[in-house]
Structure 1
Amino acid sequence: MAFIDALLGQRFMQYAVLGIALASLASGLVGPFVVVRRIGYLAGGVAHAVLGGMGVAWYFGGDPMAGALIASLVAALVIGWVHLHLRAHEDMLISALWSGGMAVGILFISQTDGYRADLLGYLFGNILLVSDAQLWLMVALDVAMAVVILLFYRQLVAVCFDAEFARLRGLNVTFFYLLLLCLVALTVVILVQIVGLILLVALLSLPAAIAGQWARSLGAIMALSTVVAAGSGYAGLAIAWGPDWPAGATIVLTLGGLYVLSLLGHALVGLRGRPGSAAV
């Protein structure tokens, strides 16, 4: 009841609910492409490079989220280029960008005079401090991603499922692959405000992984993963309220538990569907 009362009477809780909805939409739109294309590691590299942009922006008196947006897009393009042209050194270069981005961010934040940014808030998120400006940024990014996906849905699907065949059909695979990574970058900027840099890869990939066990078409996976992300977000927020746990970490733990249950349920359904399973 205390959680319901806070939800009805506290503006910051209402902002948190809106933030979860917007983050879930971003996760549902882009997460399935990440899972199908198996670029979770690349998404992690983009996510951790974002802290560098935040630190630089804070040091020069700018908006950390503007720095995050620029850094994420630059990192996405660099990582995409490395993936396409330097495959032999891909793991090492992405790891260097991953750790280097965080190191730059920590360095600039530590050297900022006066009040320093809450580094733990950037690393682990603070959904209860989402502001008006952040919500509007999330709305704008969600709309931009939805428009891009509607315009280029078939091309993105082709790049994810069979890039070589798409290339033979004359599709500019390089362009659409980089476009996909830019969509991942925009999603990172949205999710960092909910669960932080350390945990956002889980919110980006796990809902789509759960949905992929029960849905067949990519459109259905998008819809179901959005619902899964939102449900886990609201459940995690409610669970965290009473004992005053970190909301972002609780959301990810809730999502992880749901993923395990989904795996078990899917395995059980598959077992029952096998010939002779009744005898077992």
Structure 2
Amino acid sequence: MLEILGYPFFQNALIGVIIISIASALIGTYITTRRMTFISGGVTHACFGGLGLGYYLGISPVLTAAVFAVISSLGVEWLSKRRSVRKDSAIAVIWALGMAIGIMFIFMTEGYVPELNSFLFGSVLTITRSDLWLFGGFTLLLIAFYALFMPLIVACSFDADFARTRRLPVRFIDYAMTVFVAVAIV
């Protein structure tokens, strides 16, 4: 049974899962505390628009999906802060918009379009060494952010109104954590 650990693809998968689990633990506590569990589905489906755009333009669909993830998560944050829109309603709007954009670009793409759902769900066994470096860099950046701003993150997560009265940078923490959530989802 342990002979499977001798295969490089399995080693990459195991190391990748360990690295991602650290980032997911940090991001997950924030998402749960803020009651934003629906955002992972919304941003994931909004990424479909980025995948479709990437294929239509002939550029990396993963890169365009990441850009879409960040823009859509910032859009959710902006809609819920600037307008009288609840966060779950904003997530639903971004979800539908991203899927619609993705379908539109896939329809407009000439020739063969690969199965884009494989990008959304993927396979842990396809993780490469370069992916491990990206995962590790992101996780280290996230750990550094938490180390620097942990008291602010906790204060803003549990009671944003009280944090505002104490003149804490609630908006900065919200937007920074939203970007981290989006990148973690991709």
TM-score (norm 2): 0.89
Mapped to 1, the partners of 2:88 and 2:98 lie a distance apart of 15
Which residue number corresponds to residue 52 of structure 1? 49
User: Equivalent residue for 2:11?
Assistant: 14
Comparing 117-126 with 163-172, which one deviates more in the overlay? 117-126
Structure 1 runs not aligned, ≥5 long:
190-280
User: Does residue 71 of structure 1 match 2:78?
Assistant: no
Q: How far 1:55 sits from its partner (Å)? A: 2.0
Do the aligned partners of 1:110 and 1:116 also contact (CA within 8 Å) in 2?
A: no
CA–CA separation in structure 1 for the residues paired with 2:16 and 2:107? 29
Deviation at 1:113, TM superposition (A): 4.2
C-alpha change, 1:90 and 1:38, in structure 2 (3 Å) is: closer
Change (3 A) 1:169 1:92: closer
| Structure with more relative contact order (C-alpha pairs < 8 Å, separation 6 or more) | 2
- Note the aligned Cα RMSD (angstroms): 2.0
Q: Please, what TM-score do these two structures have when normalized by structure 1?
A: 0.61
The alignment partner of 1:97 has SS state of helix
Q: Percent identity?
A: 35
Q: Secondary structure at the match of 1:40?
A: coil
Matches within 5 A, 1:1-280: 1=1, 4-8=2-6, 10-88=7-85, 90-189=87-186
Q: Give, in angstroms, the shift of residue 89 of structure 1.
A: 5.7
Q: Distance in 1 between matches of 2:128 and 2:25?
A: 23
Given that residues 55 and 105 in structure 1 are in contact (C-alpha distance below 8 angstroms), is that contact kept between their aligned partners in structure 2?
Answer: yes
Q: Name the CA shift for 1:11/1:23 in 2 (closer, same or farther; >3 Å).
A: same
Q: Residue by residue, what CA displacement relative to the aligned partner does 1:35-69 show, whole Å, maximum 9, x if unpaired?
A: 11111123332222112112212322222221122
Distance 1:160 1:89, change over 3 A: closer
Runs of 4+ in 1 over 3 A off after TM superposition: 87-93, 109-115
> Which of 1 and 2 has greater Rg?
1
Retained in 2: the 8 A contact 1:51–1:105? Answer: yes
Structure 2: 5+ residue stretches without partners: none
Q: Secondary structure at the match of 1:122?
A: helix
Distance 1:59 1:180, change over 3 A: same
CA–CA distance in structure 2, aligned partners of residues 184 and 79 of structure 1: 12
Distance between the aligned counterparts of 2:179 and 2:156, measured in 1? 14
Q: Distance in 1 between matches of 2:24 and 2:109?
A: 33
Contact 2:46–2:72 under 8 Å retained in 1: yes
Number of corresponding residues: 186
The answer to whether the 8 Å contact 1:109/1:117 transfers is no
Q: 2:121, 2:114 → 1: CA distance?
A: 13
Partner SS state of residue 38, structure 2: helix
